Amino acid sequence: MNQFSYVRPASLKAAIDAVAKDNTARFIAGGTNLLDLMKSGVVIPEKLVDINRLPLKDIQLNGNTLHIGALALNSELAAHELVTTHHPLLSQALLAGASQQLRNMATVGGNMMQRTRCTYFYDTTMPCNKRSPNSGCGAIGGINRMHAIFGASESCIAVHPSDMCVALAALDATVLVTGPKGNRRIPFTDFHRLPGNTPQLDNNLAKGELITAVEIPANAYTKNVYYLKVRDRASYAFALVSVAAALDISNNVIRSARLAMGGVAHKPWRLYDAEKALAGKAPTEENFRHAADIALQSAKAYTHNQFKTGLSVNSIQTALLKAASV
Amino acid sequence: MKKQQTGQSMDRVDGRLKVTGGAKYFADHQLPELLYAALVCSSISNGTIKSINTTKALRAPGVQDVISHLNAPPVPGYKNSDPNAKDGLKIFKDNRIYSNGQPVAIVLANTMERAVHAASLVEVQYNQETHYTDMNANMGKAFQNNRMKDYTRGEADAWKKAPVTIDATYSLPLEVHNPMELAGIIAHWDTPDTLVLYAKTQGVKNVQDTIKRLFQIPEQNITVHSQFVGGGFGMALRVWPLEIATIVAAKKVRKPVKLVITRDQMFTLVGYRPNAVQRLSLGATADGKLTGITHEAVAVTSPYEDFTEGIVSMSKFMYACPNVTTRYKLVPLNISTPIWMRGPGEATGAFALESAIDELSYKLNIDPLELRVLNHADTDPEKDLPFSSKYLKEAYQLGAEKIGWSNRKAAPRSMQEDGMLVGYGMSSGTFGAFRGKATVSATLKADGSLILQSAAADIGPGTATAMVQIAADVTGIAPAKIKFMLGESAYPFAPQQGGSSTVSTLGSAVTDACKALQQKLAGLAISHVPAFKNAAPETIIFEDGQLLRAGQSEKISYETILQQQQLPEVNVVATSQSGEERKKYSMYSFSVHFTKVHVHPATGVVRIKHIVSVADAGTIVNAKTARSQMIGGVVGGIGMALTEEAVMDHRFGRFVNNNYADYHVPVNADTPPTDVYFINKKDPYINPMGSKGMGEIALIGFAAAVSNAVYHATGKRVRDLPITPDKVLDEKGYQQWKLENKMST
């Protein structure tokens, strides 16, 4: 690990200034991913700007909107009554992620900012366009069992590893950021990017911008929700595929549905067409299967992740059945 | 008589030290002027080093030296070796690279962080040559090693003529031991020919012997400390090049050097369970009698050593079958050398054999348990000897009862609960019950305490605890007054802790040393204690730490003899080993594993719900540590069955999941309630305690118990470990059966 300096600013403005004015500076919160990246030589910051003392930990209702401070811990958020009551899907997704020890350190903002777990990204002797643009993609012709089936490019087939983000994408959350040019709001589904020709960019944050909060609008997805995570190990493993399913069911009719997947794309992958297909339909196994088939129409698999297409269909259907049967 | 200690669930004598952080592992030691080391490892898989540029590294803060083949002090033991002999990697001898991850330089600095950073600054240029790392693509290079010749009993390949046959191929991936404690060593040359080592090892004497040979210094000049080991599972059964590199570095800079390697280096520097492809062919009569077994195995090894293990051993004697053929070949690849990993080759082989037996049971429509009993080997068909003890049939019955085998419906995919497919599977395991040679020093102090010393290791099973119990029963001294000391090369010889042999070997030596001590005390009593004057030695009885004379009431305690003679202590040293009994009997431990699994019908996720493992391992010395050891082995078996696989990108010859996040050892959530039972019947021949080994059988066969249960649950036979969800589903990831109504809700 490189030698680096460390500052712990007391104000949001000082923190943003520290990073905006220094190309080698990085924010650090829980550090559960950044420290690994630094130890692996993937990220070599010369200055760490510790934001843990900034007042961004609050979890509260503003009117009907749930406001989640960017420094709220994953473990606190998962257990918070406002979350378990109003957005149980988010709680389920959080608890499916990482381990209790990691959730005790990891923040909401940090969770969003975590990098892919693609092995070629972490091994600095291997090609990786995300780590080292124009060096090639190791995964496309290599070991790609864990990789994307949606929205990938010839530059990169990595996936975003978060579970929390899958639920937030499904729940129409908004990201609040503050930067050198002031504040802005980014729809959660527009926060992360697809790889395209610039896989080195994971998201649409500008230099020096800092996530301050995530907001979730009021919704009817308080009961019929399910987060299904299919993984190789019962806990502490990244998803082969995961599905966040939320249904608003009334009189045996699906009024609206929200569906998103993890482990399948460079960003949390919303299944808009499948959601539309479910609206107005009865919550039946056949309708769920149909929606799942629609969702997978644009899938493209690679050498080792062919199984993800069928597994995704089965998983979407399973998650919907589970959500409907609650 | 006092309470018998053997068999009790005595707490570990070092348990408090371990859970309070008081136990010092090798890396916990600090020496004055200590330097920290980091390895620079090859990023190519075959070729030579063209150049090493250390300019930037040497300029980095705190860096003391960078040592490679260009400037390393010579290792004298390398000199005489035959350049063509496959006798191991000679680190820093020349510029040859055999495998990715091979150390090419060692960087020394005044902190670990600085050493690691400087290692990243060393620039190595290579002449790259074509490498070969894919076993399946290199089967044409398979060869036979002389240690593992083809075996035939009766008629070769007789299975082909049988009315009912199974002919299937099973594959096991490369597995890495991955104990929590990372490998490494502290090396300190006290003088130019006196070396002190703090090692992570399964045998201090083996380290001493290897160093003696390589550095050509007298044994007594080499001190090896290894009081505590944070898990070994076999990876610490030899001295690795990383340790030689550290010793060489310490020699060059004349300061103590500590190396702790990184997790990714654990995949390339300290061995692994070799990946293997096995073809298992069975022939049987229609009523289920085996008429032919052919077991063929191919496994990987390095370019510079031929590693063999007992992959095909179990097939030779496990079942009463007149015709058995085994063949075993190695494929040399550009990878490091494998080493025994818990259960070693027998665990690899048992997966194939016990899966095939299960497949045969379905083909014959005979219960898999019944089929095994039907073909039970009452005597050893390979050695043509009686077993010293074998209670396998009892183990089958006990395990079946405890798992509820009678609830199992015979047909595959016929049981469901809670929306899950339910499967029951079973298998058996066996491993040689060994007894080696060991020496124990026993010292009785005038306060009545007993100190036992031997250069044994404890990689976790609780060796000292078991030895205290054995010594307590022989001497009658209370366990609290007995101390067993191990992990020091200065102590009398003990072999490595491996092959499930420690209790047998060391316990026998403890027994003999304690008995010799009693005889010495008897001699003192006969010479000096009036009540025992002129007594015939055989008339002296030892009871509860006292000497008695047959038919007389006088007693004298051990310590009173010493106190009366004003002796501070009495010492004996005894060496113990097996005798003729091993020629008369075949000695094996046996295990039986039963599992109940749930398989999610839509996602293919397998979860083990209940495990019953039964060990026929002779007398159980400590019921508590024995149970822990069985559970530990079972957890290793869960990993083998469901999660563990080191994945390599053969284009680069590099592992792509060389970390704890991506190489999946089972976590608590993968580990269901595990019920362990012991037959606990003494083996009358193997050793004074009647104890057989247990570390290996805890794992051997387990993976088959899971894959057999998965087949029972789903109707899908997975012959390629680990059984990940994608393998349970079809190649497109769908369930191969139609999703049934409400099954998945």
In chain B, where the domains are located: 15-21+436-577, 31-130+181-230+236-267
SS3 B660: coil
Partners of residue A312 in chain B, C-beta under 8 Å: 733
Q: Which residue has the higher pLDDT, B86 or B396?
A: B396
The answer, for A266 touching chain B at a CB cutoff of 8 Å, is no
What pLDDT, on the 0 to 100 scale, is given for residue B739? 45
Residues of B identified as active-site: 696
The answer, for A321 touching chain B at a CB cutoff of 8 Å, is yes
Tell me if the domain spanning B15-21+436-577 has CATH number 3.30.365.10: yes
Q: What is the DSSP letter of A299?
A: -
Compute the nearest-CA separation of B600 from chain A (Å). Answer: 10
Other C-beta atoms closer than 10 Å to the C-beta of B579 total 9
Burial category of B130 from C-beta neighbours within 10 Å (exposed 0-12, middle 13-18, buried 19 and up): exposed
Q: What is the DSSP letter of B670?
A: G
Taking each helix axis from N to C end, the angle separating B463-475 and B502-528, rounded to the nearest 10 degrees, works out to: 30
Closest residue on chain B to A122 (Cα): B656
Nearest to B459 by CA among B629, B266, B687: B629
Taking an 8 Å cut-off on Cβ atoms, the answer to whether A314 and B602 are in contact is yes
What pLDDT, on the 0 to 100 scale, is given for residue B735? 65
Answer yes or no: same fold for B15-21+436-577 and B31-130+181-230+236-267.
no
Partners of residue B607 in chain A, C-beta under 8 Å: 234
What pLDDT, on the 0 to 100 scale, is given for residue B550? 85
**Beta pairing, strands A174-179 & B35-41:** unpaired
Closest residue on chain B to A286 (Cα): B741
Closest residue on chain B to A313 (Cα): B734
Q: pLDDT tens digits for A245-289? A: 999 999 999 999 999 999 999 999 999 999 999 999 999 999 999
Closest residue on chain B to A124 (Cα): B43
Burial category of A286 from C-beta neighbours within 10 Å (exposed 0-12, middle 13-18, buried 19 and up): exposed
Partners of residue B643 in chain A, C-beta under 8 Å: 232-233
The percent of residues above 90 in pLDDT, for chain B, comes to 95
Q: What is the mean pLDDT of residues B102-112?
A: 98
Task: Please answer whether residues B55 and B63 qualify as being in contact, where contact means their C-beta atoms are separated by less than 8 angstroms.
Answer: no
Q: Tokens standing for A243?
A: 């599905």
What pLDDT, on the 0 to 100 scale, is given for residue B742? 44
Closest residue on chain B to A242 (Cα): B603
Task: Please answer whether residues B454 and B494 qualify as being in contact, where contact means their C-beta atoms are separated by less than 8 angstroms.
Answer: yes
Exposure string over B586-610, b if 16+ CB within 10 A, otherwise e: bbbbbbbbbbbbbbbbbbbbbebbb
User: Is B80's pLDDT higher than 70?
Assistant: no
What pLDDT, on the 0 to 100 scale, is given for residue B526? 95
E-strand ranges in B600-743 read 606-616, 648-649, 654-655, 674-678
**Contacts across the A-B interface (CB distance below 8 Å):** 118
Q: Tokens standing for B370?
A: 């019944």
What pLDDT, on the 0 to 100 scale, is given for residue B155? 98
User: Is B745's pLDDT higher than 80?
Assistant: no
Closest residue on chain B to A99 (Cα): B667
Other C-beta atoms closer than 10 Å to the C-beta of B205 total 23
The answer, for A309 touching chain B at a CB cutoff of 8 Å, is yes
The percent of residues above 70 in pLDDT, for chain B, comes to 98
What pLDDT, on the 0 to 100 scale, is given for residue B345? 97
Q: What is the mean pLDDT of residues A96-114?
A: 97
| Distance in angstroms (rounded) separating the CA atoms of residues B394 and B408 | 19
What pLDDT, on the 0 to 100 scale, is given for residue B733? 77
What pLDDT, on the 0 to 100 scale, is given for residue B741? 42
What pLDDT, on the 0 to 100 scale, is given for residue B744? 41
What pLDDT, on the 0 to 100 scale, is given for residue B731? 75
Task: Please answer whether residues B695 and B463 qualify as being in contact, where contact means their C-beta atoms are separated by less than 8 angstroms.
Answer: no
Residue of A123, A237, A311 with shortest CB distance to B729? A311
Q: What is the mean pLDDT of chain B?
A: 96
What pLDDT, on the 0 to 100 scale, is given for residue B734? 78
| Bridge partners (DSSP) listed for residue B294 | B281, B325
Q: What is the mean pLDDT of residues B180-208?
A: 98
Partners of residue B732 in chain A, C-beta under 8 Å: 306-307, 309-310
What is the full DSSP assignment across B205-223?
A: HHHHHHHHHHHT--GGGEE
What pLDDT, on the 0 to 100 scale, is given for residue A3? 86
| Distance in angstroms (rounded) separating the CA atoms of residues B405 and B372 | 14
What pLDDT, on the 0 to 100 scale, is given for residue B737? 45
The answer, for A1 touching chain B at a CB cutoff of 8 Å, is yes
Partners of residue A322 in chain B, C-beta under 8 Å: 744-745
Residue of A240, A285, A309 with shortest CB distance to B725? A240
| Bridge partners (DSSP) listed for residue B610 | B596
Alpha-helical (H) ranges within B529-557 are none
Q: pLDDT tens digits for B661-720? A: 999 999 999 999 999 999 999 999 999 999 999 999 999 999 999 999 999 999 999 999
What kind and span of H or E run contains B582?
helix B581-584
What is the full DSSP assignment across B81-116?
A: S-TTS-----TTSSSEE-STT-EEEEEEESSHHHHH
Partners of residue B668 in chain A, C-beta under 8 Å: 235
Residue B456's pLDDT band, with cuts at 50, 70 and 90, is very high
What kind and span of H or E run contains A256?
strand A253-262
Residue of A1, A311, A317 with shortest CB distance to B725? A311
The answer, for A312 touching chain B at a CB cutoff of 8 Å, is yes
Q: What is the mean pLDDT of residues A111-139?
A: 98
The percent of residues above 70 in pLDDT, for chain A, comes to 100
The answer, for A306 touching chain B at a CB cutoff of 8 Å, is yes
Q: pLDDT tens digits for A287-323? A: 999 999 999 999 999 999 999 999 999 999 999 999 9
| Distance in angstroms (rounded) separating the CA atoms of residues B688 and B298 | 39
∠ at Cα A199 (A198, A205), nearest 5°? 80
**Beta pairing, strands B96-97 & B540-543:** unpaired
Q: What is the dihedral of CA B524, B525, B529, B534, to 10 degrees?
A: -100
User: Is B528's pLDDT higher than 50?
Assistant: yes
Compute the nearest-CA separation of B311 from chain A (Å). Answer: 27
Partners of residue A142 in chain B, C-beta under 8 Å: 649, 651, 656
Q: What is the mean pLDDT of residues B8-22?
A: 96
What pLDDT, on the 0 to 100 scale, is given for residue B324? 98
Class of the CATH domain delimited by B31-130+181-230+236-267: alpha beta
Q: Which residues of B touch A (CB under 8 A)?
A: 43, 61, 113, 116-117, 120, 600, 602-605, 607, 642-643, 647, 649, 651-652, 654, 656-657, 661-662, 664, 666-670, 722, 724-726, 729-735, 739, 741, 744-745
Residues 6 or more apart whose Cβ sits within 8 Å of residue B637: B343, B347, B593, B698, B699, B701, B702, B703, B705, B706
- With the C-alpha atoms ordered A132, B106, B305, B208, is the resulting torsion angle positive or negative? negative
Q: pLDDT tens digits for B332-384? A: 999 999 999 999 999 999 999 999 999 999 999 999 999 999 999 999 999 99
What kind and span of H or E run contains B273?
none
What pLDDT, on the 0 to 100 scale, is given for residue B232? 96
Q: pLDDT tens digits for A178-222? A: 999 999 999 999 999 999 999 999 999 999 999 999 999 999 999
User: Is B2's pLDDT higher than 80?
Assistant: no
Taking an 8 Å cut-off on Cβ atoms, the answer to whether B656 and A142 are in contact is yes
Exposure string over B615-651, b if 16+ CB within 10 A, otherwise e: bbbbbbbbbebbbbbbbbbbbbbbbbbbbbbbbbbbb
Task: Please answer whether residues A93 and A138 qualify as being in contact, where contact means their C-beta atoms are separated by less than 8 angstroms.
Answer: no
Query: Which domains, from first to last, does chain A contain?
Result: 5-52 (3.30.43.10), 224-324 (3.30.390.50)
Q: What is the mean pLDDT of chain A?
A: 97
User: Is B259's pLDDT higher than 60?
Assistant: yes
Partners of residue A306 in chain B, C-beta under 8 Å: 731-733
